[in-house]
Amino acid sequence: MQHERWLIEHGRLVSPADGLDRPGRLLLVDGRIAAIDPADGDLPPDVARVDASGCYVIPGLVDIGAELGEPGREEDETIETGTAAALAGGYTSLACAASTDPPIDTPAGVEFVRQKAARADGCRVYVIGCVSKGRQGDELAEIGGLVEAGAVALSDAPKPLHNTALLRRALEYCAMFDRPVLDMPEVPSLTRGGVMHEGLTQLVLALAPMPAEAEDLATSRDLRLLETTGGRLHLTSISTSGGVELVRRAKARHSPVTVGVHIANLCFCDQQMRTFDSSLKVNPPLRSPEHIEACLEAVADGTIDVIASGHQPRSLEKKMQELDAVPFGMTTLDTALAQAHTYLVRTGKLDFARLVQCMATGPARVLDLPAGRLAPQVPGDVVIFDPQARWTVTPQTMGSRSRNTPLLNQELVGRVRDVWVGGRRKKPLDDRTSPSGN
Amino acid sequence: MELEGRLRELAAAWRCRHLLDLESLEANELTTLLEAADLFAEHFRRRRGKLSLLAGRTVANLFFENSTRTRNSFSLAAKRLGADTIEFSSAGSSVAKGETFIDTAKTIEAMGVDAVVTRHSTPGTSHLLARHLQCSVLNAGDGPHEHPTQGLLDILTIRQQRGRIEGLTVALVGDIAHSRTARSNIWGLKKLGAHVIVCGPRTLVSPQWAELGVEVAYNLDEILPRCDVLNLLRIQFERQATRPFPSVREYALLYAMNADRIARSKPDILIMAPGPINRGVEITPDVADGPHSVILQQVSNGIAVRMAALWLLLHSTRADDWVT
């Protein structure tokens, strides 16, 4: 039976946007958060009580740019498996990338994803439309139609907008609809054929280089254009000390830019490429420790707004090729929060409240979604996270259809225990065989 | 017989299952390889016959990139040890039909081979195969990354000529960026105590090599008087995306080893080249064929080094002996 009224008690409520980081209880009624710390007299009679002792109670995570495979890349992921991975990882809202085949550059494409997502009945799925027709980077897609159909942002990522004139037009045009343009900053001519971050490790391994300045130059260009055009720009994935510094200076001048970093770029460094593990081939590439340091600092001081999953599932046959031929990508939705907790929070590099802000509140703000908060009347997207739980990542723990993660068979500390989407409790992954919802 | 006894002594302490790179080998392991190679070189110098040390073993040559010299050298090494060989190259194979290289290697392994000798244009390929196969893997070149037997044969040649490696100054000249020979030489030579200089145009020689304790130079004439050995690397035109220098003529002017430069070198300088050599680009014909050149000795040492590697990796049947 599906309860519609839940009282989550004995846990620690963490939502910095609402000034929460303390023990408390939370009441969910009819799909929304009804109250924080309700008095016993105010509880509905048939409320179901959930004991969150020893756990954090946080807003459901929000992701920008996860790839869900459909349409056209079902060998990597489907909307059903991708949203299952999301729930397992504590995400209650995803804005999925337009990098499908065909790309999502028409209202029909947006509609297709929305309907598939409704049928999958996992987490909430929002759609990012293409900036350019066919994601070719030459001319504008029908952005008005995409927005009308429900696109929450426009982006060709994970492909950079290399055509500067097009980016300029896109920023101007999207400003009319008050929707952000999402760009992955990279100058492709400097990274063509590249496999890993250019540096000492790359010099030794002799893999084709992806220099940091390829990202810095594009970041600098994007920020400069935004000054002229106005509108809203979100950089999906910065990973260099140079990029961080450029953004920091732009924000000091009140630029409306927002930026994200991929979880992989905070937790793994270029030296790990010594294993030649193809699941570590990602874009932006894993950088050297100085760059990671700079990014962590930028997360802490607010220069970086969003920690994104960078979820790019790739089927085994694609990742079993030689490194030159392997496509970029790491599957991350299942593990991002636990990984961040293990690698960043437990090591003292980042505090948990800031992590929640960057994985829930920040991305919700970029996309104007009613999510990422724990406050009365906001939708009941809530996660219970057990920071003590030790678990090992295996194919059975993963909702994603793909296994391209270096965390396979690794132990993580901290695990998502329960998830509510719109006030409805979602079945944990282990029970996936039983029908969910209704 | 005496040779076999000495080889078994050397093999007794050997603990590596694969030969993937020189970076991960210890100095004593390098020395073991060199000493075994010396024994084989000596054996054939005395025109003694084929051996049967690896009779019943099978070695597969699995080459995804063109090679004639290395491939024949490995084949001959295996045959001189009494092993059987299988030849496989990507042209006309199932790789052309879309099979992944790992599946291809597994298929070959399923035919019952004890070692796979592999070459591929992508760095790390032999490391990946080592992870997926049960048999021993020998790297015969993984893109610009490493070519361990080439590094060993270069070092063996120097050692035979000079009796030592420690204290010598060895310059690697040319396309360091795209050279697997350079990388294997750098690791091997440094571990054995040589001073290594990398020299070539700035576009092909990263200043970052200095962070690894290698001297970086752009002017050959400046370092020439200090060098005991020059190893002239081929310009890998096929691996370069944009041309790293204006013309071959200009490259030859700055870096080619010619009679004039020989005259300004130490009188006993050794001139080496991993081949194939571009006569007139990195070396002039009179130098290649002159008294300082040990290029042909390198080629014969190649067989001895590969015999040593195959012997050390395959002498034992007990898989528990392997550490990695």
Which helix (H) or strand (E) segment is A113 a member of? helix A107-120
Helix orientation angle between A107-120 and A79-88, rounded to the nearest 10 degrees:
60
Which amino acid does the sequence have at A226?
L
> Using an 8 Å Cβ cutoff, are B64 and B183 in contact?
no
Confidence of residue A1 (pLDDT cuts 50, 70, 90): very low
Residue pLDDT, tens place only, B53-68: 999 999 999 998 888 8
| Calpha distance A382→A421 (Å, rounded) | 7
Closest listed residue to residue B84, CA positions, set B115, B58, B114, B61: B58
| Strand ranges across the sheet with B195-199 | B215-217, B195-199, B169-173, B229-232, B270-272
Say if pTM beats, i.e. exceeds, 0.80. Answer: yes
| Containing structural domain, residue B293 | 148-299
- pLDDT at A139 exceeding the cut of 50: yes
Between B23, B102, B123, which is nearest A207 by CB? B123
Confidence of residue A434 (pLDDT cuts 50, 70, 90): very low
Between B102, B120, B143, which is nearest A206 by CB? B143
Closest listed residue to residue B182, CA positions, set B223, B159, B219, B214: B214
Confidence of residue B100 (pLDDT cuts 50, 70, 90): confident
* Same domain, yes or no: B9 and B21: yes
| Calpha distance A143→A434 (Å, rounded) | 40
Mutate to test the interface with B, among A322, A324, A409 (most CBs of B within 10 A): A322
- pLDDT at B268 exceeding the cut of 70: yes
Closest listed residue to residue A65, CA positions, set A361, A246, A263: A263
* Same domain, yes or no: B142 and B253: no
Closest listed residue to residue B83, CA positions, set B62, B44, B53: B53
CATH code of the domain covering residue B74: 3.40.50.1370
* Same domain, yes or no: B308 and B285: no
Residue pLDDT, tens place only, B190-218: 999 999 999 999 999 999 999 999 999 99
Closest listed residue to residue A311, CA positions, set A332, A326, A328: A332
Q: Is A329 exposed, middle or buried (0-12, 13-18, 19+ CB in 10 A)?
A: buried
| Calpha distance A95→A184 (Å, rounded) | 15
Chain A positions in Cβ-Cβ contact with residue B214 (cut-off 8 Å): none
Which helix (H) or strand (E) segment is A234 a member of? strand A233-235
Cβ burial A106-131 (10 Å sphere, 16+ → b, else e): bbebbebbbebbeebebbbbbbbbbb
Residue pLDDT, tens place only, A10-61: 999 999 999 999 999 999 999 999 999 999 999 999 999 999 999 999 999 9
Which amino acid does the sequence have at B152?
L
State mean pLDDT over A355-362: 98
* Same domain, yes or no: B191 and B73: no
pLDDT at B97: 62
State mean pLDDT over B290-315: 95
B191–chain A Cβ distance below 8 A for any pair? no
Residue pLDDT, tens place only, B16-75: 999 999 999 999 999 999 999 999 999 988 887 889 999 999 999 999 888 888 999 999
A204–chain B Cβ distance below 8 A for any pair? yes
- pLDDT at A437 exceeding the cut of 80: no
Chain A positions in Cβ-Cβ contact with residue B103 (cut-off 8 Å): 320
A323–chain B Cβ distance below 8 A for any pair? yes
Query: Based on the structure, what is the number of domains in chain B?
Result: 2
State how far the alpha carbon of A415 is from the alpha carbons of A85, A334, A411, in Å. 13, 10, 11
A321–chain B Cβ distance below 8 A for any pair? yes
Residue pLDDT, tens place only, A233-244: 999 999 999 999
Mean pLDDT across chain A, nearest whole number? 95
- CB-CB neighbours of A139 under 10 Å: 12
Geometric angle at alpha carbon B4, from B1 and B9, rounded to 5° = 125
| Calpha distance A366→A354 (Å, rounded) | 16
SS3 A167: helix
* Same domain, yes or no: B160 and B88: no
**DSSP codes of every residue in A29-98:** ETTEEEEES--GGGS-TTPEEEE-TT-EEEEPEEEEEE---TTT-TTT--HHHHHHHHHHTTEEEEEE-S
Domain boundaries, chain A: 59-366
* Shortest CA gap B241–chain A (Å): 9
Two tokens, residue A222: 């994007």
Between B102, B127, B143, which is nearest A320 by CB? B102
| Calpha distance A10→A2 (Å, rounded) | 22
Confidence of residue A431 (pLDDT cuts 50, 70, 90): very low
* Same domain, yes or no: B158 and B142: no
* Same domain, yes or no: B96 and B185: no
- pLDDT at B91 exceeding the cut of 70: no
SS3 B41: helix
> Using an 8 Å Cβ cutoff, are B81 and B307 in contact?
yes
Strand partners, A96: A66, A127
Q: Tell the CATH superfamily of the A59-366 domain.
A: Metal-dependent hydrolases (3.20.20.140)
SS3 B170: strand
| Calpha distance B252→B258 (Å, rounded) | 9
pLDDT at B89: 80
Q: Do A322 and B101 make contact, defined as CB atoms within 8 angstroms? A: yes
Tell me, what's the ipTM? Answer: 0.88
State how far the alpha carbon of A251 is from the alpha carbons of A170, A226, A254, A297, A393, in Å. 21, 12, 5, 15, 38
pLDDT at A436: 37
